[in-house]
């Protein structure tokens, strides 16, 4: 039986991530990076590997939570014979510097099991399958645990209890009485590195303790938001921190690949990369729920990844690998059944080669947020200025081109309104930063291009038939991205055309639950080049709440926010979409964009209520 997406919790050391189910099974772990092949992948196929630590009583009641101010999961099994508590964490390393959380992650999954009442049998099962399940490894007992070798991967399970090897895996049971505890650790290395020895239990306990303290120190130092939905906002900030890759500052869209937008469908994508389009929204969310340090690091990563393309006059790539890689060629893993038989399973993402002209606006919007902190005398300032000037010039030059749009449709390119809007944003923000960029001589040209874009959007992007701004020029179809028209300052948030667009989205682009679709996927003029349908999009629902708040409709904004916020799972995580029929979470998980939307909407509502 397929485990529901909402049944998982996220573990992270800011280098990679693991997903652990309510039943105590780690069903997703890529190592050593977010975008590495999985060594545990049961989430995408029953044969692709797992690591279970759970109570042996199948009738035990299960509850779980994140320990306060951390990304450490506590799962409690309460049965007739007793209670056992498991703490799961990807170890972060020492907590000396809260600004360097997970700087030296030891690549260690720690699972601590304690009996708190009665007597409980605990089941342990490790079935590793490296390279997305392609490799059946050699598993052998060593002193203090188990060693696994397969392909390029080496795993060592440290276990202070006897285990048995069978079927290219290891199993065992241990009976714990009240007050007794055992701690296990799973390390990853490659065959090019020295093989690690099992870690003594006392060191595993210390690694868990320092991880808890590291997350709490970071939260205490970095999280100051005090508005409505404070706990959700702070938790979402930690999720964004957990989805960031420490060595570069890249924020992955999600730590998973190919979790479907429709159960059994083909809309299955690899999200373990960083998108330029997320930049300004991510920076705003990091500013609210994390801190400027993370915001600066993320922008530095984007600039370093893309500057050469802009300065060379090439298309600005829309996404990059977490180390700054450009080639993200997509391929299908035909040996995997997919979550819930949703094929194909893909790694890489073909959208990397798409043309999306909105990215210039996202980059300039992100830079504008940081402009007060830019040091014009910094040694790298000249390169920054040239890069940002190049983005503005490209927006002025290319805004009339067709592209694939924000949603990366795989149909024919079109004149998407959102793409034109973000070209306007690029120019508007560049004009505002002209003195910092030392580009006053370009302002007249940028302003003229911005006015041309404005005229085109107002005349060709508005539909009298739809009584709304629409997805593309000359189309009657709605698109939730047009909610951004008032949010980016193109028109006042209470302009009648903005209000009409808000109402059109609320009335005609929502499901019975009041959640918002990105757009309608029916075949015809609005075809996106893919078969099947998708769920409602949580980011777009939060956009609706944010747009309502910006236009002074605070009560409606709160209602919409609460509708979307209702879909956090029991440990406060959001996927990309919601199934309009069942209400189940769909898509890659947890989804950074959904948590970004939550943070920015909560902040918008807080500001609206303070000023209203």
- Over residues 415-419, the mean pLDDT reads 97
Quote the pLDDT of residue 56: 93
Q: What is the pLDDT of residue 303?
A: 80
pLDDT of residue 391: 93
* Position 95 pLDDT exceeds 60: no
Share of the chain above pLDDT 70, in %: 95
| Mean pLDDT across 579-596 | 96
Tokens at residue 530, please? Answer: 């893919």
For the cut 80, the answer to whether the pLDDT of residue 380 exceeds it is no
Give the model's pLDDT for residue 550: 98
Higher pLDDT, 233 or 383: 233
Reading the block at residue 213, the tokens are: 């303290």
The DSSP output letter for 373 is: G
User: In this structure, which long-range contacts are made by residues 606-611, counting pairs with CB atoms below 8 Å and at least 24 apart in sequence?
Assistant: 606/227, 606/228, 607/549, 608/549, 608/550, 608/552, 608/554, 608/557, 609/228, 609/554
Averaged over 224-246, what is the pLDDT?
Answer: 95
Secondary structure in 3-state letters for 423-455: HHHHHHHHHHCHHHHCCHHHHHHHHHHHHHHHH
pLDDT band at 373 (very low <50, low <70, confident <90, very high): low
More confident residue, 596 or 369: 596
For each of the domains in the chain, give its residue range(s) and CATH number, in order of start: 5-194 (2.70.98.50), 220-611 (1.50.10.10)
Residue range 241-259, pLDDT digits in tens: 999 999 998 999 999 999 9
- 501-542 pLDDT tens trace: 999 999 999 999 999 999 987 644 445 667 778 899 999 999
The pLDDT tens digits of the residues spanning 438-457 come to 999 999 999 999 999 999 99
Cα(first)–Cα(last) distance of the chain, in Å? 50
Q: How confident is the model at residue 412 (pLDDT cuts 50, 70, 90)?
A: confident
What pLDDT score was predicted for residue 277?
A: 83
User: What's the pLDDT score for residue 226?
Assistant: 93
Distance CA 53, CA 113 (A): 8
Q: Which helix (H) or strand (E) holds 368?
A: helix 359-370
Which positions ≥6 away from 21 have C-beta within 8 Å?
A: 3, 7, 8, 9, 27
- How does the average pLDDT of the chain come out, rounded? 93
Q: What pLDDT score does 516 carry?
A: 98
Least confident range of 169-178, 264-273, 475-484, 519-528? 519-528
The H or E element containing residue 81 is: none
d(CA 604, CA 596): 12
> What 3-state DSSP class applies to 475?
coil
Quick one: pLDDT at residue 411? 81
Distance CA 256, CA 258 (A): 7
**Is the pLDDT reported for residue 289 higher than 90?**
no
pLDDT number for residue 504: 98
pLDDT (0 to 100) of residue 276 = 86
Average pLDDT over residues 97-107: 73
Of 577, 572, 597, nearest to 238 by C-alpha is 572
Q: How far apart are CA 343 and CA 333, in angstroms?
A: 9
Task: For residue 284, name the pLDDT band (cuts at 50, 70, 90).
Answer: confident
**Residue pLDDT, tens place only, 20-78:** 999 999 999 999 999 999 999 999 999 999 999 999 999 999 999 999 999 999 999 99
Question: Tokens representing 312?
Answer: 């060379």
Q: Residue 266 contacts by C-beta under 8 Å, 6 or more apart in sequence?
A: 260, 342, 343, 344, 530, 531, 532
pLDDT in tens, 168-196: 999 999 999 999 999 999 999 999 999 89
Nearest of 585, 411, 414, 572 to residue 67 by alpha carbon: 572
Residues 571 and 525: their CA atoms lie apart, in Å, by 40
User: 3-class SS at 349?
Assistant: coil
Question: pLDDT value at position 76?
Answer: 98
Cβ atoms of residues 30 and 38 within 8 Å: yes
Q: How far apart are CA 533 and CA 358, in angstroms?
A: 25
What is the residue whose two structure tokens read 């028109």?
491
Given a cut of 80, is residue 296 above it in pLDDT?
A: no
The predicted pLDDT at position 376 comes to 63
> What are the φ/ψ torsions at residue 193 (nearest 5 degrees)?
-110, 160
The model's confidence at residue 372, banded by pLDDT at 50, 70 and 90, is low
């Amino acid at each position: 039986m397929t485990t529901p997406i909402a049944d998982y919790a996220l573990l992270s050391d800011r280098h990679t991530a693991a997903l652990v189910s309510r039943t105590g099974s780690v069903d997703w772990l890529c190592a050593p990076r977010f975008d590495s092949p999985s060594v545990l992948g049961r989430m995408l196929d029953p044969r692709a590997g797992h690591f279970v630590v759970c109570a042996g009583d199948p009738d035990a009641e299960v509850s779980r939570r994140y320990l306060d101010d951390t990304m450490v999961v506590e799962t409690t099994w309460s049965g007739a014979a007793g209670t056992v508590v498991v703490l799961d964490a990807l170890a972060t390393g020492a907590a000396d510097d809260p600004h360097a959380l997970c700087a030296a992650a030891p690549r260690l999954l720690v699972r601590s099991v304690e009996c708190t009442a009665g007597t409980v049998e605990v089941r342990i099962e490790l079935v590793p399958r490296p390279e997305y399940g392609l490799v059946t490894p050699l598993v052998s007992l060593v002193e203090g645990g188990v060693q696994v070798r397969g392909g390029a991967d080496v795993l060592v399970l440290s276990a202070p209890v006897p285990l048995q090897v069978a079927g290219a895996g290891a199993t065992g049971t241990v009976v714990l009485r009240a007050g007794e505890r055992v701690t296990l650790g799973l390390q990853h290395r490659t065959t090019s590195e020295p093989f690690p020895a099992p870690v003594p239990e006392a060191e595993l306990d210390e690694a868990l303790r320092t991880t808890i303290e590291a997350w709490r120190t970071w939260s205490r130092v970095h999280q100051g938001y005090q508005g409505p939905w404070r706990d959700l906002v702070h938790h979402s900030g930690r999720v964004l921190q957990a989805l960031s890759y420490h060595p570069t500052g890249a924020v992955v869209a999600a730590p998973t690949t190919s979790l479907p937008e429709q159960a059994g469908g083909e809309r299955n994508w690899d999200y373990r990369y960083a998108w330029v389009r997320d930049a300004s929204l991510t920076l705003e969310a990091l500013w609210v729920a994390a801190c400027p340090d993370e915001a600066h690091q993320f922008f530095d990563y984007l600039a370093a990844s893309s500057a050469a393309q802009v300065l060379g006059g090439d298309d600005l790539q829309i996404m990059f690998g977490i180390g700054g890689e450009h080639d993200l060629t997509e391929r299908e893993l035909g040996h995997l059944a997919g979550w819930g038989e949703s094929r194909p399973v893909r790694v890489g993402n073909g959208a990397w080669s798409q043309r999306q002209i909105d990215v210039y606006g996202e980059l300039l919007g992100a830079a504008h947020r940081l402009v007060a902190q830019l040091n014009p005398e910094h040694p790298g300032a000249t390169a920054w200025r040239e890069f940002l000037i190049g983005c503005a010039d490209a927006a002025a030059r290319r805004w009339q081109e067709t592209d694939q749009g924000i949603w990366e449709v795989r149909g024919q390119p079109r004149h998407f309104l959102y793409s034109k809007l973000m070209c306007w944003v690029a120019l508007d923000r560049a004009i505002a930063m002209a003195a910092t960029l030392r580009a006053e001589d370009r302002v007249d040209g940028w302003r003229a291009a911005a006015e041309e874009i404005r005229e085109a959007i107002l005349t060709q992007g508005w539909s009298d038939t739809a009584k709304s701004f629409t997805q593309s020029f000359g189309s009657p179809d709605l698109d939730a991205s047009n909610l951004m028209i008032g949010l980016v300052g193109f028109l006042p948030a209470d302009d009648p055309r903005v209000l009409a667009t808000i109402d059109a989205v609320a009335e005609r682009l929502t499901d019975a639950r009041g959640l918002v679709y990105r757009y309608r996927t029916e075949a015809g003029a609005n075809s996106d080049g893919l078969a099947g349908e998708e769920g409602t999009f949580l980011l777009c629902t939060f956009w609706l709440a944010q747009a309502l708040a910006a236009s002074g409709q605070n009560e409606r904004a709160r209602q919409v926010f609460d509708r979307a916020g209702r879909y956090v799972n029991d440990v406060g995580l959001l996927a990309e979409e919601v199934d309009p029929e069942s209400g189940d979470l769909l898509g890659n998980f947890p989804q950074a964009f959904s948590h970004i939307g939550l943070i920015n909407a909560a902040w918008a509502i807080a500001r609206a209520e303070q000023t209203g």
